[in-house]
Amino acid sequence: MDSALIPEGVKRCSTGKFALFIGIVGAVLLWGVYAMLLCWLKGLNQTNMNDYYGFALWIWADLAVIALGGGAFFTGFLRYIVGKDELKNIINYAVLIGFICYSSALLILAIDIGQPLRGWFIFWHANVHSMLTEVAFCLSCYFAVLSIEYLPLILENRQLNKVPFFHHLAHNMHEVMAVFAATGAFLSFFHQGSLGGVAGVLFGRPFSFREGVFVWPWTFFLFTWSAAAYGPCFTLSLTKLIEAITGKQLVGEKCVNLLAKISGWMILTYIIAKIADTWYWASVLAPAQGFTLMDFYSNNPVYGIWILVLEIVIGGIIPALILITERGRKNPMLFILAIILGVIGVSINRWVMVLQVMAVPVMPFDTWAMYFPSWQEIATTILPVAYGVILIAISYRYLPVFPQERELND
């Protein structure tokens, strides 16, 4: 039925199978929409947030998808600014993933503010002293950039491309894409950093407080660095996932190897800086405020020293050492392990910088504040995942997301 819309020279599943898949994922999406409407109509009392947890599951999901979506700006930077032409074979997919991640982040924020009709307040009544104001502006602007970068891919649909205006528009947009890639890298540097800066300036929260340069704590730079380092791992992991589902090779080994190698070295340099930051915090900053390292990792049922090991060693050192070596990248099992551990590592980092920060007692009479999200919070967090699956499925079916697909599967 829809064969005229499918890119020329490639095969897709039957329309019936595709519709069934979309229907199943769509049911999950509708569950999330129902929970979202409950939060909007009945208020944030539908959540388990409280005076301890003003930031909770939604903000972790927000920071995590923004970090994982960092593969878009960093791959675009490498492709158009640095000149790594081999990455042209994965840049479309990186942009698609970035578009999904950033639109999901904006959706989560629209739920989290409780009254989305007042969402424009942050732009019109901007608090110029808040890092979150800068995040809101840069996040919105970068989503606009991603929309512009995604538009030529839509216009290259088999039928739309037959319209001369759309054909020439897509071609001309590709010609100036370096401008948007540079703009995206600039915007991403600041909003990725400011998300880390929010935690770093909380002087009343000794778990996250850091010193820094001028008004920027070290977490500002670590968040930007980690997004650029780990974002490609997410892009590569989803590439391998869709290859496993379709039974096809969609991106050439040379392209995958290059992006994985760059990601590995970025992770290694980041994790060295992260270890230095953690050591200084544990040996200087925390003791100056009357805390020892184990005060943050004991006397509670969840946050033990294991979570620090999971973030730095298992989610940082191990994937870095695998990806920087050619033998590690050439071994399929080790490669998959490395990119999955990378995704876990950066997600754990965002978790502790949002939720563990709130859990740690800061007063002598305080106890650890534990939190478990309500089903509404869980459903609305799964909502963007279902939306992302549907958009990837539709884009893969009807758009030339992978330029090498035809030649690699002849």
pLDDT (tens place) for every residue of the chain, 410 residues total: 678 888 888 899 899 999 999 999 999 999 999 999 999 999 889 999 988 888 889 999 999 999 999 999 999 999 999 989 999 999 999 999 999 999 999 999 888 887 778 888 888 888 888 888 888 888 889 999 999 999 999 999 999 999 999 999 999 998 888 898 899 888 888 888 888 888 899 888 999 999 988 888 999 999 999 999 999 999 999 999 999 999 999 999 999 999 999 999 999 999 999 999 999 999 999 999 989 999 999 989 999 999 999 999 999 999 999 999 999 999 999 999 999 999 999 999 999 999 999 999 988 888 999 999 999 999 999 999 999 999 999 999 999 999 999 998 87
Q: Which residues pair with 212 in a beta bridge?
A: 217
- Tell me which H or E stretch contains 91: helix 91-112
Read off the amino acid at residue 108. Answer: I
Nearest Cα residue to 261 out of 315, 317, 329: 329
Return the ∠ at Cα 192 (arms to 189 and 196), rounded to 5°.
125
Tokens representing residue 366 in the block: 């305080």
Give, as one character, the DSSP assignment of residue 71: H
Are 384 and 61 spatial neighbours (Cβ–Cβ below 8 Å)?
yes
- Tell me which H or E stretch contains 226: helix 218-246
DSSP per-residue string spanning 254-299: HHHHHHHHHHHHHHHHHHHHHHHHHHHIIIIIHHHTT--GGGGSSS
Tokens representing residue 83 in the block: 């000149």
Instruction: Give the integer Cα–Cα distance in Å for 49 and 251.
Output: 43
Grouping H, G, I as helix, E, B as strand and the rest as coil, residue 213 is strand
Q: Which residues pair with 213 in a beta bridge?
A: 216
Q: What is the pLDDT of residue 195?
A: 87
Domain 15-398 has CATH 1.20.1630.10: yes
Instruction: Give the integer Cα–Cα distance in Å for 90 and 319.
Output: 21
Q: What is the pLDDT of residue 272?
A: 97
Nearest Cα residue to 93 out of 286, 226, 251, 229: 251
Q: φ, ψ for residue 156 (rounded to 5)?
A: -90, 10
Are 204 and 362 spatial neighbours (Cβ–Cβ below 8 Å)?
yes
Instruction: Give the integer Cα–Cα distance in Å for 2 and 4.
Output: 5
